[in-house]
A and B are shown apart, each in its own frame.
Chain A
Amino acid sequence: MTMKKLLTAAIALLATQVALAGVKIEHWVSPSGARVYFVESRVLPMLDIQVDFAAGSMFDPAGKSGLAALTRAGLDLGAGKLDETAIAEQMADIGANLGGGADTDRASVALRTLSARDKREPALDILRTVLHSPRFETAIFEREKARTIASLKEALTRPDSIAGKAFWAAMYPNHPYGKQASPESVAMLNRDDLAAFHARYYTAANASITLVGDISRSDAEQIAESLAAGLPKGSAAPLPAPPQAPKGGLTKLPHPASQAHIYIGLPAIERGNPDYFPLLVGNYTLGGGGFVSRLMKEVRDQRGYAYSVYSYFAPLKQPGPFQIGLQTKRSQAQDAIKVARDVLDGFLKDGPSPDELAAAKANLTGSFPLRLDSNKKLLDNAAAIGFYGLPLDYLDQYQARVQAVTAEQIRQAFARHVRPAELITVTVAAD
Chain B
Amino acid sequence: MRIRHVLPVLLAPWLFTAALANPYETTLKNGLRIIVKEDRRAPTAVQMVWYRIGSMDEVDGASGVAHVLEHMMFKGTPSVGPGEFNKRVAAAGGRDNAFTSRDYTAYFQQVPKEKLDEMMQLEADRMRHLNVDAKEFAQEIKVVMEERRMRTDDNPQAKLFEQMNATAFQAHPYRRPIIGWMNDLETMTAADAKAWYDTWYVPNNAYVVITGDVDHQAVFALAEKHYGPLEGRALPVRKQQIEPAQEGARRVNVKAPAELPVLIMGYKAPILRDADKDSEPYALDMLSAILDGHDAARFNKKLVREDKVAQSIGVEYDATARGPGMIYLHGTPSEGHSVADLEAALRAEIARLQKDGVSEQELKRAKAQLLASQVYKLDSMFGQAMEIGQTESAGIPYQQLKRMLEKLQKVSAAEVQAVAKKYFTDDTLTVGILEPQPLDGKPRRPAVAIRH
List residues of chain B with CB under 8 Å of any chain A CB: 9-14, 16-18, 20-21, 38, 40-44, 74, 82-83, 86-87, 90-96, 110-112, 115, 138-147, 149-150, 153-154, 213, 257-260, 293-297, 301, 304-305, 308, 311-312, 332, 334-335, 364-366, 368-369, 371-373, 375-376, 378-381, 436, 439-440, 444, 446-450, 452
- Distance in angstroms between the alpha carbons of A8 and B21 in the assembled complex: 11
- Distance in angstroms between the alpha carbons of A370 and B372 in the assembled complex: 25
Tell me if A359 and B143 are in contact (CB < 8 A).
Answer: no
Residues in B whose Cβ lies below 8 Å from that of A114: 10, 372, 375
User: Assuming the A-B contacts A8-B17, A84-B296, A300-B143, are A258 and B149 also in contact, with contact meaning beta carbons closer than 8 angstroms in the complex?
Assistant: yes
Residues in B whose Cβ lies below 8 Å from that of A258: 149, 153-154
User: Assuming the A-B contacts A85-B301, A150-B260, A329-B146, are A92 and B41 also in contact, with contact meaning beta carbons closer than 8 angstroms in the complex?
Assistant: no
- Distance in angstroms between the alpha carbons of A88 and B296 in the assembled complex: 5
The verdict on A219 contacting chain B, using a C-beta distance below 8 Å, is no
Q: Closest residue to A375 on the B side, CB-wise?
A: B379
Q: Which of A29-37, A305-313, A342-350 contacts B (4 or more CB under 8 A)?
A: A305-313
Partner among A5, A146, A328 whose Cβ is within 8 Å of the Cβ of B17: A5
**7 closest residue pairs by CB, A with B:** A366-B93, A95-B372, A304-B142, A88-B296, A373-B42, A291-B86, A254-B450
Interface residues in A125-157 by Cβ distance below 8 A to B read 143, 146-147, 149-151, 153-154, 156-157
Residues in A whose Cβ lies below 8 Å from that of B452: 256, 330, 431
Tell me if A254 and B440 are in contact (CB < 8 A).
Answer: yes
User: Assuming the A-B contacts A150-B311, A259-B146, are A359 and B368 also in contact, with contact meaning beta carbons closer than 8 angstroms in the complex?
Assistant: no
Question: In whole Å, how far is B397's beta carbon from the nearest beta carbon of chain A?
Answer: 23
Residues in B whose Cβ lies below 8 Å from that of A236: none
Interface residues in A343-394 by Cβ distance below 8 A to B read 359, 362-363, 365-370, 372-376
Tell me if B446 and A162 are in contact (CB < 8 A).
Answer: yes
- Distance in angstroms between the alpha carbons of A93 and B138 in the assembled complex: 55
Q: Is the interface of A mostly helix, strand, loop or mixed?
A: helix
Q: Closest residue to B308 on the A side, CB-wise?
A: A143
Tell me if B13 and A4 are in contact (CB < 8 A).
Answer: yes
15 cross-chain CB contacts under 8 A: A85-B305, A88-B297, A95-B10, A95-B369, A95-B372, A146-B334, A290-B90, A291-B90, A304-B138, A307-B144, A327-B149, A366-B91, A369-B112, A370-B95, A374-B42
- Distance in angstroms between the alpha carbons of A7 and B258 in the assembled complex: 58
Residues in B whose Cβ lies below 8 Å from that of A256: 257, 439-440, 450, 452
| New A-B pairs, 19, CB < 8 Å, besides A95-B10, A359-B90 | A8-B18, A15-B41, A18-B41, A19-B42, A45-B11, A46-B376, A119-B372, A143-B308, A151-B311, A258-B154, A290-B90, A292-B87, A301-B139, A327-B150, A366-B91, A367-B94, A370-B44, A370-B93, A374-B381
Q: Closest residue to A17 on the B side, CB-wise?
A: B40
- Distance in angstroms between the alpha carbons of A93 and B16 in the assembled complex: 23
Interface residues in A258-298 by Cβ distance below 8 A to B read 258-259, 289-292, 297
Question: In whole Å, how far is B338's beta carbon from the nearest beta carbon of chain A?
Answer: 14
- Distance in angstroms between the alpha carbons of A387 and B449 in the assembled complex: 43
The verdict on A250 contacting chain B, using a C-beta distance below 8 Å, is no
- Distance in angstroms between the alpha carbons of A362 and B74 in the assembled complex: 21
User: Assuming the A-B contacts A7-B17, A43-B41, are A89 and B93 also in contact, with contact meaning beta carbons closer than 8 angstroms in the complex?
Assistant: no
Tell me if A359 and B381 are in contact (CB < 8 A).
Answer: no
- Distance in angstroms between the alpha carbons of A84 and B297 in the assembled complex: 11
Tell me if B10 and A292 are in contact (CB < 8 A).
Answer: no
Partner among A4, A151, A156, A368 whose Cβ is within 8 Å of the Cβ of B446: A156
- Distance in angstroms between the alpha carbons of A364 and B297 in the assembled complex: 43
